[in-house]
Amino acid sequence: MPVNLHFYQELKAFCKAKMVTLVAVSKTKPIEDILELYHLGQRDFGENYVQELTEKYHALPKDIRWHFIGHLQTNKVKIIAPFISLIQSVDSEKLFSEINKQGAKNNRVIDCLLQIFIAREETKFGLDENELKMLTDKIHEEKYQYATVKGLMGMASFTKEKEQVKNEFCQLNNLSKKYFGKSINGHSPIISMGMSADYELAIDEGSNLIRVGSLLFGERQKK
Ligand SMILES: *Cc1c(COP(=O)(O)O)cnc(C)c1O
């Protein structure tokens, strides 16, 4: 399936007007497709498998900002630590402290988002509010120097019920306000929410980073 370059230009302009970061989710898609968007100026790309991401990192221009958006196993952090731009899917203290350890080894601070469970489905990873509170407290206490929290990420339920999706996004935005207020070290907290099916709704509810795959690259084959 060809990359939808026309839609990309539209979405890019829309995001710019709304001051929203567009992450193009390129998982399962070939290098050539990524390069098509790269040549139109896209620099933020999202992947959810460590091996696939690493192969693409090595094959592609080094000014791409790679976002890790899938479930990350602790033992794989070291593979992506040298180059990852933002790990969006931190859901445990164990993972965060490993990211800090690998950040130290690579002498760089690794930016992270905490993944929050907002959906009704049981399959989606993430923290509930109680776990978020415990994790943020712990992170403050430990004074980690090589991993830093930039905000929150969440995935809404896969449903056509707009009210439901809207409520879930609203919930994520409220958690961000409650735990980070208006800024984290002088920057607006990142609120990563919204995918192909629901990015407009997400932006209405306060998202400032959307992760869009299939609308740009076409439907993915089921793995
Ligand atoms: C695959 C994926 C996306 C993109 O999904 P589309 O519906 O193709 O836009 C966004 N976020 C996460 C966490 C994903 O795994």
Tens digits of per-residue pLDDT, 8-21? 999 999 999 999 99
Q: Kindly tell me the burial class for residue 223, based on how many C-beta atoms sit within 10 Å of its own C-beta (0-12, 13-18, 19 or more).
A: exposed
Q: Give the global pTM.
A: 0.97
69 lines ligand 1 (CB under 6 A): yes
Sheet strands (E) in 104-193: 110-117, 147-155, 190-192
Does 121 score more than 90 pLDDT? no
CA gap 206, 189 in Å, rounded: 11
Tens digits of per-residue pLDDT, 44-84? 999 999 999 999 999 999 999 999 999 999 999 999 999 99
**What count of other Cβ atoms lies within 10 Å of the Cβ of residue 14?**
15
Is residue 207 within 8 Å of residue 169, measured between CB atoms? yes
Ligand 1 atom 7 nearest Cα: 196
The domain segmentation of the chain, as residue ranges, is 5-213
- 5-213: CATH superfamily: Alanine racemase (3.20.20.10)
Is residue 100 within 8 Å of residue 88, measured between CB atoms? no
151 lines ligand 1 (CB under 6 A): no
DSSP assignment letter at 76: G
213 lines ligand 1 (CB under 6 A): yes
